[in-house]
Copies of this chain bind each other. A is one copy, B any other.
Amino acid sequence: MKLYDSTHAPNPRRVRIFLAEKGIEVPLQQLDIGAAENRKSPYIDKNPLGGIPMLELDDGTCIAESVAICRYFEGVQPEPPLMGVDAKDRAVVEMWQRRMEIEVFTNITQVFRNTHDFFKGRITQVPAYGEACRGAALKRLAWLDDVLADRPFVAGERYTIADITALCGIDFGRVSKIGVQPDQKHLSRWYEAVSSRPSAKA
């Protein structure tokens, strides 16, 4: 088994943190995204869309998509649970994981994709869309501050994959000057708590 990784990209970090929380070690293979190694053969023969991370199992099965990779490890090693513990809880955690992904993580990564020089010539950049996403991201962080007023973690009492997605999104916001505002005290408290877990260094 090996995990194709890039320490510069926000998605692989989601999986690395998830694995660190589970105490699972998986051999990592770095890809050079600056040299577009993930957009060329042999990588795209295994993952035609070129996204990173990708998990390659010993039987040759290739699993792309960060959350799908996490789902695999949640299945083979349920403890500690990071994706819910019964039908209702799994659904609630998935709701929050998706909200963090769509509203926080993706808005923040779309700012980078549509406005940063790194993506110039790699994708069709639409700077106005990036700026719309910046506004949406800031609005959602303010909302998340409210959400966290009555709970320690995004999905409730327990640290879950939703916290991982939010943390990786927010940290990636630095390059686009998006982050937690000083007056967002609940979000600041949460950010401090999840950032100080050993897994955050993964």
Q: Which residues of A contact B (CB under 8 A)?
A: 48-49, 55, 57, 61, 63-65, 67-69, 71-72, 74-76, 86-88, 90-92, 94-95, 98-99, 103, 114, 124, 126, 128-129, 132, 135, 143
13 A-B pairs whose Cβ atoms sit less than 8 Å apart in the complex: A49-B103, A61-B88, A63-B91, A63-B95, A65-B94, A65-B98, A69-B91, A71-B87, A71-B94, A72-B91, A76-B87, A124-B135, A126-B129
Q: Quote the shortest CB–CB distance from A109 to chain B (angstroms).
A: 12
Contact B91 A71 (CB under 8 A): yes
CA distance A103 to B143 in the complex (A): 27
CA distance A145 to B114 in the complex (A): 28
Contacts of A87 in B (CB 8 A): 71-72, 74-76
Number of copies: 2
Of the residues B48, B86, B98, contact of A75 by C-beta under 8 Å: B86
Contacts of A86 in B (CB 8 A): 75
Contacts of A48 in B (CB 8 A): 143
Residue of B at shortest CB range from A103? Answer: B49
Residue of B at shortest CB range from A110? Answer: B129
CA distance A174 to B61 in the complex (A): 35
Contacts beyond the supplied A61-B88, A71-B91, A76-B87: 16 A-B pairs with Cβ under 8 Å: A55-B91, A57-B88, A63-B91, A63-B95, A65-B95, A65-B98, A67-B98, A68-B98, A71-B90, A71-B94, A72-B90, A72-B91, A74-B87, A75-B88, A124-B132, A129-B129
